[in-house]
Each structure stands twice: as C-alpha cells, then as structure tokens.
Amino acid sequence: MVKNETIVQLLTVFRRYGYEGATLTRLSEATGLGKASLYHHFPKGKEEIAAVVLNYTNDWMAANIIAPLGDKERQGLSKIKEMTKKVNELYSCGQKSCILAVLVLGESNDIFHNQIQQALKLWIDTLAKVLIEAGLDEKTALYRAEDAILQIQGSLILARGLNDTKPFERVLNHLPETLLKV
C-alpha cells in the first residue's frame, strides 16, 4: 500500500509536468523511490500511478467538496462558502493546477476521460442541487453550476499563466454571491 504522502508527491509531478512530462525519473525523484520500487507498487507503470493519483483526488473531492454540498444541516450559502474554502485548499490559493484539467489533455484524455467526466458531472450536479434548494429553477441552477466550474478552472489557468493568484482569489470570493443571486 502506498502512503498518502507518496501519492501527494506523485500528484505534484503530474500537476507540474502533465501526463506526458511525468516521467518515471521525475516520479522517482519526487518520491525518493527508485524506479524498481515504483514498479513494485505500480506494476502497470505510469498509467497506474496516474490512476491512483486521480482516485486520490476524486476521493478527496468527494469527502471535502461533494459531501459538504450535500449536508442537509446547512443552508445554501454556508455550503457554497465551505466549497470555496476547500477548493482554495485543493489548489493552494490558485498556485496548483487542477489534476482533472491536466489529465484531460493529450493522450491521458483517452485513458482517463470517463473518470474525469464523472468527477466533473458529480461536482456540477451536486452544486446544482444546492442551487435548486436555494430557490433557482433547474435550468438556471445547472448553468450556474457549470459556470462556477468554468470560472474556477479558467481562473486557475489565468493564475498560472500570469503567475498571479488574484484572478483565482477573486473568483472564489465572488462565487457564493454570484451563484445564489436571484
């Protein structure tokens, strides 16, 4: 069994270099594990490593973003504020790339498309349910939920491209009121 700390180190390599650039040498250097040790833990190589990283991220998102959005004890605004807090944590205030976005590019899209699509749809659908509970009609709720993910992902790209996290921070700060605006 691979420790979570090792998976986080592997995640860092994929976020930084993408699937194609996450070579076994880079993965080995990041974890301190030799290539033989990596193959021992991941007999199918890089594809299996990326799958473990993606599953780790999806599990984290399910526990820290999706579950709080479904919390029946909280109101819409509180749920969305918690979501933005956890999104901020996941992306280190806009300094880290989204692994879903990284793996949807290039050859890794063919391998992981269904998993990524399911993760994004779950996030959108769960957020839309919160917006419906807050009084929005189904169509508007879905559009706003999709727009929220677009804004988060787009601001991450802009933050990386500009080497400035302010766009990401601005999106997260305004997202709760934007989503719930009547």
pLDDT of amino acid 182: 74
The pLDDT confidence band at residue 2, using thresholds 50, 70 and 90, is: confident
User: pLDDT value at position 9?
Assistant: 97
**Residues near 76 by beta carbon (within 8 Å), at least 6 away in sequence:** 130, 131, 133, 134, 180
Mean pLDDT, to the nearest integer, of 153-181? 96
Residue 1 has pLDDT above 80, yes or no: no
Q: Which domains are assigned to the chain?
A: 4-180 (1.10.357.10)
CA distance 180 to 132: 10
Give per-residue pLDDT as tens, 32-48: 999 999 999 999 999 99
CA 93, distance to chain mean position in Å, is 13
Q: Is 156 exposed, middle or buried (0-12, 13-18, 19+ CB in 10 A)?
A: buried
